[in-house]
Amino acid sequence: MSPPRLDTLEENIFVNSIPILITGTKLEVPRAKFIPYGLNVNDKKLPKNDDDFAGPLNISSNFLFFNVSYDSLWVNTNGVISLNRGIREVESPKFPNNYAPCISPFWSDIDISHSGEIFYREIIDKPTLQIIEYDIQDKFFSFYDFIATWAFVATWIDVPQFNYNNSFNTFQSVLASNGNLSFVIFNYEQLTWSVETAQAGLNGGDGTHYFNLPGSFSSSIKKLTNLSNIGVVGKWMYRTDSLYNFEYGCPSDNLMRFKPSNVSSLGGDIIDITGPCFNKDDLIFAVIDSDQENPQGCVFKNQFTCSITTKKFKRYGRIPVLLIINSYLLYEEEIDVYEPKNGALIKKNRDSLLSLIEKINNKLINK
């Protein structure tokens, strides 16, 4: 019997630069749209074990990752492709770390002893390489002439969590290169289970260079199937050969930060948002507390900062903020919204009243 599948999925459809969540039955990156995988395309399979790995696997073309060239890799049961050692650990130290350079679509405690399959292979045949290079050319406009000469794909199909066999995750990681430029693609069909220590991203293994995907180390990591950095729900793509040339955003921890970090539910606070890098011509919007009908423009201040003025909140506590840059780059974080005490409310009302009195006086004076 096949494992249960998701019946519905919230999809991001971009209209006028604003994402609208629509519930539907279509999976944006179903396994049928993955890079071909399985025994019929000569994939190899990881053994039906827990916390296992295959490797070292010598590759026919060096893969440049954070400015370091690698000639072998390991495919690990627990949702990781590592570049200097096999990994049996079920939890990842937070990126960045010195533990291992790795590409992690979903590092968590995966157990395929009883169900689930993990496939992998090196790709050098031209038809499959063309599928990958067309995908990269389409999303990285400055590399419209990129020609892939080598690729590697690892695919986790219906993999369960250790000690649980009632929910399943399906995702794929693709590495591609032309000998100088390197790219990583993550395809997510479904993430139906997670733990608070699950992590997705890229780790240079030097304690400095890394890139985390949103939701890592929280249950929100399951939202990777609903989001994207390239405008295709469930698909993520990065250029990874150098230290500072991520095509989208900055080589940071991919987290937004707010100053001030807590604001009044009455609104009227000016918040500086940092984390991603901005260009003066970027279209930047903030969707606060999932209010997609009323997105707020985030005003460009400099390369590292944009600002918004808060409106009155309908509630207080931890409130989600979604930042959208140029329709495809998404950042999500929460801000603390507090309920003001009576004194603050009185002060705000008094300030509003004084402002009104001043306007009336000015009108009387000018008559």
Tokens of 118: 């993990």
Q: What is the mean pLDDT of residues 102-108?
A: 97
Instruction: Please tell me whether residues 262 and 234 are part of one structural domain.
Output: no
Instruction: Please tell me whether residues 188 and 333 are part of one structural domain.
Output: no
- What are the residues facing 353 on neighbouring strands? none
Q: What is the mean pLDDT of residues 242-249?
A: 53
Does 298 reside within a domain?
A: yes
Using CA atoms, how far apart are residues 36 and 41, in angstroms rounded to an integer? 7
Q: Is the pLDDT of residue 78 over 90?
A: yes
Q: Is the pLDDT of residue 244 over 70?
A: no
pLDDT at residue number 25: 36
Tokens of 362: 């000015």
Least confident of 18-22, 69-73, 221-225, 260-264: 18-22
Find which of 13-17, 135-139, 241-245, 339-343 is predicted with most confidence, using mean pLDDT.
Answer: 135-139
Residue 187: enclosing H or E segment and its boundaries?
A: strand 182-191
Q: Give the Å distances, CA to CA, from 86 to 90, 97, 255, 296, 307.
A: 12, 16, 29, 46, 44
* Residue that wins the pLDDT comparison between 355 and 184: 184
Sign of the four-CA dihedral 194, 249, 95, 85: positive
Using CA atoms, how far apart are residues 83 and 206, in angstroms rounded to an integer? 12
Does 235 reside within a domain?
A: yes
Using 50, 70 and 90 to split pLDDT, how confident is the model at 187? very high
Q: What is the mean pLDDT of residues 220-227?
A: 89
Using 50, 70 and 90 to split pLDDT, how confident is the model at 256? confident
Tokens of 269: 């606070």
By percentage, how much of the chain surpasses pLDDT 70? 81
By percentage, how much of the chain surpasses pLDDT 90? 52
Query: In this structure, are residues 209 and 243 in contact, taking their beta carbons and an 8 Å threshold?
Result: yes
Least confident of 77-81, 167-171, 305-309: 305-309
Instruction: Please tell me whether residues 308 and 197 are part of one structural domain.
Output: no
Q: Is the pLDDT of residue 251 over 70?
A: no
Q: What is the mean pLDDT of residues 326-337?
A: 80
pLDDT at residue number 242: 81
Instruction: Please tell me whether residues 261 and 321 are part of one structural domain.
Output: yes
Q: Is the pLDDT of residue 5 over 70?
A: no
Instruction: Please tell me whether residues 191 and 299 are part of one structural domain.
Output: no
The dihedral formed by the CA atoms of 210, 212, 218 and 219, expressed in degrees to the nearest 10: -140
Q: What mean pLDDT value characterizes the chain?
A: 82
Using CA atoms, how far apart are residues 346 and 350, in angstroms rounded to an integer? 6
Does 171 reside within a domain?
A: yes
Alpha helix positions (H), 45-179: 126-139
Query: Residue 20 contacts by C-beta under 8 Å, 6 or more apart in sequence?
Result: 12, 13, 14, 292
Instruction: Please tell me whether residues 200 and 105 are part of one structural domain.
Output: yes
Using CA atoms, how far apart are residues 362 and 356, in angstroms rounded to an integer? 10
Instruction: Please tell me whether residues 292 and 228 are part of one structural domain.
Output: no
Using CA atoms, how far apart are residues 285 and 308, in angstroms rounded to an integer? 9
pLDDT at residue number 48: 93
Q: Is the pLDDT of residue 196 over 90?
A: no
Instruction: Please tell me whether residues 138 and 65 are part of one structural domain.
Output: yes
Residue with tokens 């390369």: 303
Instruction: Please tell me whether residues 36 and 136 are part of one structural domain.
Output: yes
Does 351 reside within a domain?
A: no
**Coil, helix or strand for 185?**
strand
Does 357 reside within a domain?
A: no
Does 181 reside within a domain?
A: yes
Instruction: Please tell me whether residues 185 and 262 are part of one structural domain.
Output: no
Q: What is the mean pLDDT of residues 5-10?
A: 28
Using CA atoms, how far apart are residues 268 and 15, in angstroms rounded to an integer? 28
Number of domains in the chain: 2
Chain segment 134-168, per-residue pLDDT in tens: 999 887 767 888 999 999 999 999 999 998 888 99
Query: In this structure, are residues 210 and 203 in contact, taking their beta carbons and an 8 Å threshold?
Result: yes
Backbone angles phi, psi at 336, to 5 degrees: -85, 125
pLDDT at residue number 184: 96
Closest CA to 312 of 337, 344, 349: 337
Strand order in the sheet with 296-297: 262-264, 329-338, 317-325, 284-288, 296-297
pLDDT at residue number 76: 97
Does 62 reside within a domain?
A: yes
Using CA atoms, how far apart are residues 254 and 232, in angstroms rounded to an integer? 18
Taking the model in full, what pTM does it have?
A: 0.66
Chain segment 17-42, per-residue pLDDT in tens: 233 333 333 446 899 999 999 999 99
Query: Residue 103 contacts by C-beta under 8 Å, 6 or more apart in sequence?
Result: 65, 80, 81, 82, 83, 173, 175, 184, 202, 240
Using CA atoms, how far apart are residues 19 and 327, in angstroms rounded to an integer? 7
Residue with tokens 């930042």: 323
Instruction: Please tell me whether residues 63 and 105 are part of one structural domain.
Output: yes
Does 268 reside within a domain?
A: yes
pLDDT at residue number 226: 86
Which amino acid, residue 132?
I
Domain containing 313 — which CATH number?
2.60.40.10
**Coil, helix or strand for 78?**
coil
Tokens of 263: 């604001």
Instruction: Please tell me whether residues 228 and 276 are part of one structural domain.
Output: no
Tokens of 105: 């679509």
Domain around 306: 257-338
Query: In this structure, are residues 123 and 152 in contact, taking their beta carbons and an 8 Å threshold?
Result: yes
